[in-house]
Amino acid sequence: MRIVCVAVVGKSNNPLYIKSFETQDTMKFHYIVHSSLDVVDERTKKTSQGTAEMYLGLLCPTEDYKVYGYITNTKIKLIVVMLDDMEVKDADVKSLFKSFHELYTNSVCNPFYTADEPIRSRKFDKDMEALVNPIIK
């Protein structure tokens, strides 16, 4: 899995955290994440009969990237963008999202963090790097 970007998006589709693991074109990733939000909205509307499934799977394959989405019950969206170079197992992505979600939960538990605010936690940043970097290599 070659993860190039991870993002956390709030309830009103406001970006809370975006981090790219590739030096060029961070604006491009902003754009990709933003457009994938539409797909997220579509998918969640369709299944509004109340599913417990948080993992949304592959949202939209664009150019050379694959975008995966995950939505929590509090309408926080976690987006992962990766390079389309090799086969990726769904189970791997699911477990990545699970850890991602856990890290997000930990940062929310900080009493100095108010909901729907951009995430400025240094620890979250470091932990995300630690989560993604071993996978990239």
Supply angle C-alpha 104, 107, 112, rounded to 5: 145
Judged by CB under 8 A, the residue of 8, 78, 97, 107 near other proteins is 107
Least CB distance from residue 119 to other proteins, whole Å? 11
* Closer of 21 and 124 to other proteins (Cβ): 124
Q: Taking CB under 8 A as the rule, does residue 128 contact other proteins?
A: no
Neighbour count for residue 99 (Cβ, 10 Å): 14
Bridge partners (DSSP) of residue 57 are 69
Q: Taking CB under 8 A as the rule, does residue 74 contact other proteins?
A: no
CA distance 49 to 109: 30
* Closer of 50 and 111 to other proteins (Cβ): 111
Judged by CB under 8 A, the residue of 27, 52, 87, 112 near other proteins is 112
Residue whose token pair is 């975006």:
18
CA 118, distance to chain mean position in Å, is 14
Judged by CB under 8 A, the residue of 74, 106, 115, 135 near other proteins is 106
CA distance 97 to 84: 18
Q: Taking CB under 8 A as the rule, does residue 123 contact other proteins?
A: yes
Q: Taking CB under 8 A as the rule, does residue 95 contact other proteins?
A: no
* Closer of 52 and 112 to other proteins (Cβ): 112
Q: Which of residues 17-46 bind other proteins (CB under 8 A)?
A: none
Number of H helices, E strands in the chain: 3, 5
Q: 134: which 2 tokens?
A: 């071993």
Given the rule CB under 8 A, which residues bind other proteins? 106-107, 109-113, 120-123
